[in-house]
Amino acid sequence: MTDTVISSATREVVIGFNRPFVMIGERINPTGRKILAAEMAAGDFSRVESDARAQVEATTPPPAKPVTSRIGRTGEERDRFELGAAVPEGYFEVLGTFAYRRFIHQSSAFEQSMQIELTGTKRDYLTEGTLTLYYFLRPLITYKQEWRVRPLLEIGPGAHLAVQTADIVGFTETGFHARAYLKTHAYGGAEFLLTRRFGFLVRGRFSVPAHRPLDYAQAAIFLR
């Protein structure tokens, strides 16, 4: 959908679908108002000033009480799917990634969301898949919803379940190993909105505890 931006010397208003309702006044218009047109031609703008004050008073709503919303997003902003690839630190060279993210709450300082991610990779005889549940905090001061290019800074815990299988030559059975673990992660990068629903991101991940904190670099496309 297309947004329309109307601006003055002191204020900017965005009009469009999925945007808040905007009231536009047309009272200060000399078309069809001969007296007003004559006064303006003579340099008398007292009626214009009076009409402007009356229009502002009529269209300015009373201050609303602050409300913390658990929705706070339109449909495409609450749900997001990501498909990408990552370069991990360690034995494997590249991972395939698929994730679903859900916005859950916005406080005065942070956007809070949860993400389920599946990753998979294979090298030589070893195959690994991981299922991860993340809880992210993203500082609101780092970006604005209307930005097309947004810094991506967030932090939070992740619960991981990793499963490995090994096909070993000479053995009739496949080796199997699974482990679960918790880590705290911080992501830094940027996301680029190409449309309201589609974009891509690049980010690096820092994890603790870890032998090498920078353990993950990822690029992905996302659909909201």
pLDDT at 73: 57
For the chain, 224 residues long, give each residue's pLDDT as a single digit of tens.
677 877 766 777 788 777 777 766 666 677 777 887 788 778 887 887 887 777 777 665 656 555 444 444 555 578 999 999 999 988 888 999 999 999 998 888 999 999 999 999 998 888 999 999 999 999 999 988 888 999 999 999 999 999 988 877 655 566 788 999 999 999 999 999 999 889 999 999 999 887 777 888 999 999 98
Q: What percentage of the chain's residues is helix, strand, coil (to nearest 5)?
A: 15, 50, 35
DSSP 116-130: EEEEEEEETTEEEEE
Instruction: Kindly give the pairing relationship between strand 149-166 and strand 4-7.
Output: unpaired
The tokens for 107 are 């406080």
pLDDT at 62: 59
pLDDT at 15: 81
The tokens for 181 are 């673990």
pLDDT at 174: 64
Neighbours of 82 (CB within 10 A): 19
pLDDT at 71: 44
Chain-centroid distance of CA 93 in Å reads 29
Sign of CA dihedral 68, 142, 187, 204: positive
